[in-house]
Structure 1
Amino acid sequence: MRVIFEEDDPKNFTVLKATSAEFPALNGQSVSYAVLEFPSGTTNPPHTHPRSAELLFLVGGSLEVGFVDTKNNLFTQTLQVGDLFVFPKGLVHFQYNADSDNPAIAISAFGSASAGTVSIPSTLFV
């Protein structure tokens, strides 16, 4: 995770993961972690995690977040620094940095060493 502090701010949305694939010590531990960096105006497009809920903690900037429940209801929230948001296991969700001037950074925790990510095809939204 040191690269987050050693490199310049990214130009695109980036995710630095600590799952059992990147950090084998997590095998069998039912936990993983991700740091999400959002330059101004960037999106973590709609996706799901089939093996875990996600607890997102915003440590910098602001984010628009949301998920769609099993009855096709959209739940959204604008997060500020220090806010937490839960994305239930298996539900489609997203994050968006609508701030045109400032980046955002968040930390996500998962209840699985391999939560998995299933991306929703972008062609669905054309």
Structure 2
Amino acid sequence: MEFNGAYLMVLLLAFNIVGSTHASDPDIISDFVLPPGQNPANVDGNFFTFTGLRQVGSNNLTWQSNVKVTKASMAEFPALTGLSVSMAVLQFPAGGVNPPHTHPRASELLYLMSGSLEVGVVDTTGKLFTQSLYAGDLFVFPAGLVHFQLNKDYKNIAFAVSGFGSANAGTVSLPSTLFTSGITSDVLAKSFKTDAKTIEMLKASLKA
């Protein structure tokens, strides 16, 4: 699938509005922020251009492979620094899941471009809100809350675009954070009311 340029232009404009109205990044006191050492006199249109999404959708995803996330945050697109906006394109293979995670510095507005997704978000009381999304639907994940996306279609891929109200929303993946960050098996076993052997098996499976 190739993405329609007009679609992305409209989405970028919408995400800019979201970022401007509810910015979580510190305000800047200049029009934009240049990387250290860059001469303002040398800035041209290339500085404000990101071409990293040109090949999105052109690769083949295998069944139940990892979800492919192509980011356009300040790390990949320095012109976003201080502008409180970024985006990502998510490509879900058939049966693919984006595991439970959080974005500590921004809310996420997801637009499903094709296919279908099951999504869910958990609030601070532990209540789970789920929804089935279809092409053209929007879903918002409030900043800091645990959420996930699942492509339950085992025949077709799904494509989505997410906008964030931060140039660096950050991502904390729960499985990898809990089981590959170095937290001891003893702590995890007691926390999950299981045994250390089970925890070690989980750690091994995530590192494979």
Instruction: Detail structure 1 runs of 4+ shifted over 4 Å in the superposition.
Output: 122-126
Q: Distance in 2 between matches of 1:55 and 1:78?
A: 15
1:58 and 2:112 aligned? yes
Per-residue CA deviation, residues 62-120 of structure 1 (Å, 9 max, x unaligned), is: 00000110100000000000000000000000000000111000000000000000010
Counterpart residue number, 1:72: 126
Structure 1 partner of 2:70 = 16
Matched pairs, number: 125
CA distance in 2, matches of 1:101, 1:35: 20
Cα deviation for residue 8 of structure 1 reads 2.2
Q: Could you tell me which amino acid in structure 1 is paired with residue 119 of structure 2? A: V
- Structure 1 or 2: more strand by fraction: 1
Task: Note the residue ranges of structure 2 that are not aligned, 5 or more in a row.
Answer: 1-52, 180-191, 193-198, 203-208
Question: 1:114: which partner in 2?
Answer: 168
Amino acid at match of 1:8: N
Coordinate RMSD, CA, aligned: 1.6
Amino acid at match of 1:4: V
Identity of aligned residues (%): 61
Q: TM-score, normalised by structure 2?
A: 0.58
After TM superposition, the score normalised by the length of structure 1 is 0.94
Which residue does the alignment assign to 1:105? Answer: 159
Structure 1 regions of 5+ residues with no counterpart?
A: none
The one-letter amino acid paired with 1:113 is A
Query: Partner residue of 2:7?
Result: none
Partner residue, 1:42: 96
Check the 8 A contact 2:99/2:175 in 1, yes or no. no
